[in-house]
Structure 1
Amino acid sequence: MQSKPTTIKEIAKILNLSPSSVSRGLHDHPSIGAVTREKIKQLAKSLNYEPNNAAILFQKGKTYTIGVILPELTENFFSTAISAIEDEVLKKNYTVIFAQSHDDFDKEVRLVDKMKNQRVDGLLVSISKDTSNFDHFEKLKAFNIPVVFFDRIPPFKNVHYVACSLENATIKAVNFLLKKGHRTIGMINGPTTLFASGERKDGYMQAINFNRLKFDPTLVINCDLTEEATIDAANQLINHRRKPSAIVAFNDYIALFLIRYLKKLKIADEIDVVSYANLPIMDYLDYSPIASVEQYPYLQGQKAANILMDLINSPQLENQAFYNTIVESDLIINESKSD
């Protein structure tokens, strides 16, 4: 059987010293003489002593760990953001605990509680599609755990966040379709609980109104981001009295659900689709959106991680102005599809 790890108390007993003296000796404290320090280190080495890092970190009041809660780790957007987060926090000797809410509000609440119990020094979050109550994040203030939201963010300014300018992105997308000659444009939007859904709708309305067209609210259909809901939204638009010749989809996954359904109906060539996220796989598909909004997930993850590190290392910043960081988006046109 493997013996238990050697403790400072055991070394202290052998050398007839106090545990605190042994601890100071191991850390080269000047209050411990050079000869005694050497005896302590030699004995510790011979007994294969390993410091209790958890106890050391607890004494420092830090665990050098941050938590990250995302809807789905398998989504390309979030996996790219994760790479940026890891790259940034590793530079500062932090480790990362990842968790998935699977777009489930109750699970998100449980995960926040677990992260608190793990004593993470801070938390990065992209909220679930059903999150409309933020009390579970407010409770973290009592434990001095700063939170930075990114991509999917709460609908108010008194939080720290990094997000893409989706309103401007949608204006670009709709203007692009209008320049192609489309006059009836539909939108399959996300859940109304998501702040990003409101941004998309606002951008859509602004572009329509600016171009002196009449905004028709029945051409904007909300869905819960599932394939079934996407198909239902598609049917509403296809059977609309003003059947759209183009559709703006909430993201590339919704666009793929939509295009697959349009292909099944043999009308994929009749409706242009624009979406968000600019997934790399789109370049390899026969049917794909004619344009997609690049939201720069690596940059978002990078900025969010750096803000969190600032808040952790300078706690006084938490009580000052909030970090509200906007990353500008770009509409990436699929040249092979946009002719």
Structure 2
Amino acid sequence: MSDKPTTIKEIAKLLNISVSTVSRALNDHSSIGLITKMRVKKLAAELNYEPNQRAIQFLQGKSHTIGVILPELSESFFSAAISGIEDIAYKRNYTVLLAQSHDDQDREKLLVEKMKTQRVDGLLISVSKTTSTYEHFEALKKLNIPIVFFDRIPPIKNIHFVASNLETGTYEAVNFLLKKGHRTIGMINGPSTLVASAERKNGYIKAMTSQRLKFDPSLIVGCDLSDQGTKEAMDTLLHHKRKPTAIVTFNDYVALFAIRHARSLQIKINEDLDFVSYANLPIINYMDYTPIASVEQFPYKQGKKAANILLDLINKPRNDSGTEQAYFNIVVESELVINQSK
């Protein structure tokens, strides 16, 4: 027997019918009689016929594959997000092509180019913390490959995105600390390239000023989200003339780094210094000293919503009228989760 896959032409020749009749029979076309359909399908099964997916995709103009680029899959936040994306893709018969930027702009640009080469129908992306230029996304838009950003959103106009409302989440977090009696509250924020960093800062300012407290910008310190960057931010705050009694950290990982550094300096966690963080990841359940609260950002929900939007964009009829496109900007409300053990 030949190792070459069976073709529609071979089935047509053996049954002495046309290629178009075989094709219609395999696809249950109404113009083909039941007996002919049964003969074609029986022979196709005997010959282990498999449809040529590349040819089908070429005719449809679709690969039925979506690309996903994440900063770090090892972070449980992004693992939860990809679970939401894959669940929607599975339900809608799409395959997911996954890649990690490892928070590097150059790697992200290369991955976007590779996704284009792989002919993905659309792209979901959470941008790296170092991304500061965005022409690689414009290149996809010119090819009519839709992009939906989620969680980490670039500061550019006319984009589709799904993100958590971090401004209100930060307002709740800082207000929670104020109600506990804290008046000097520090913040370890993220890189200025991230929209989320600005949202955290805005929420902090609103919470402080709502209580008629003076906003001190020197109490907000940016970092690169690394262990070393967090230590440096902590040292800046701990040597501040107004030493904070509470610190809001960019995420649970930064909280872990900050708490570990504070303990090395003999600072009593949740006595001398309280922490509030973001994401409410499972990691906090395994920490000896945990943040007293964390802002839940619902990554699974973000992933599901982003995937549904992308697939709707892929499958909607092309707009050739020249009218301006409507952009999906979905904000998932965050929620402050109090650590009941503290």
Is this a same-fold pair by TM over 0.5?
A: yes
C-alpha displacement of 1:80: 0.9
In structure 2, what residue type is equivalent to 1:274? V
Partner residue, 2:330: 325
Query: What SS class does the counterpart of residue 275 from structure 1 fall into?
Result: strand
Partner residue, 2:77: 77
Partner residue, 1:124: 124
Query: What SS class does the counterpart of residue 111 from structure 2 fall into?
Result: helix
Distance 1:57 1:290 in 2: 52
Query: What stretches of structure 2 of length at least 5 have no aligned partner?
Result: none
Query: What SS class does the counterpart of residue 149 from structure 1 fall into?
Result: strand
**How many residue pairs align between the two structures?**
337
Following superposition of structure 1 onto structure 2, how do residues 252-271 of structure 1 map, counting pairs within 5 Å? 252-269=252-269, 270-271=272-273
CA distance 1:142–1:16, change in 2 (3 Å): farther
Following superposition of structure 1 onto structure 2, how do residues 142-221 of structure 1 map, counting pairs within 5 Å? 142-221=142-221
C-alpha displacement of 1:238: 0.8
Query: What stretches of structure 1 of length at least 5 have no aligned partner?
Result: none
Distance 2:273 2:168 in 1: 23
The two structures, once aligned, show a CA RMSD in angstroms of 2.1
Residues 138-192 of structure 1: CA distance to partner in whole angstroms, max 9, x if unpaired?
A: 1112322111111101224411111111111111111111111111111111001
C-alpha displacement of 1:286: 2.5
Q: 2:290 aligns with which of 260, 263, 288?
A: 288
Mapped contact 1:259–1:268 kept (Cα < 8 A): no
Distance 2:145 2:317 in 1: 9
Query: What SS class does the counterpart of residue 162 from structure 1 fall into?
Result: strand
Given the two structures, how large is their TM-score scaled by the length of structure 1?
0.92
Distance 1:291 1:38 in 2: 64
Residues 38-90 of structure 1: CA distance to partner in whole angstroms, max 9, x if unpaired?
A: 55444433332211122112211222211111111111111111111111221
C-alpha displacement of 1:26: 3.1
In structure 2, what residue type is equivalent to 1:278? N
Distance 2:172 2:187 in 1: 14
Distance 2:31 2:329 in 1: 48
Deviating more after overlay: 47-56 vs 285-294: 47-56
C-alpha displacement of 1:264: 0.9
Mapped contact 2:67–2:98 kept (Cα < 8 A): yes
Mapped contact 1:157–1:324 kept (Cα < 8 A): no
Mapped contact 2:231–2:258 kept (Cα < 8 A): yes
Mapped contact 2:25–2:36 kept (Cα < 8 A): yes
C-alpha displacement of 1:283: 2.9
C-alpha displacement of 1:206: 1.7
Residues 247-299 of structure 1: CA distance to partner in whole angstroms, max 9, x if unpaired?
A: 11000000000000111111033111111001123134320101110111111
Residues 92-125 of structure 1: CA distance to partner in whole angstroms, max 9, x if unpaired?
A: 1112111111101111111111111222121111
Given the two structures, how large is their TM-score scaled by the length of structure 2?
0.91
Partner residue, 1:101: 101
Residues 302-327 of structure 1: CA distance to partner in whole angstroms, max 9, x if unpaired?
A: 11111112111214479532111111
In structure 2, what residue type is equivalent to 1:329? S
C-alpha displacement of 1:336: 2.2
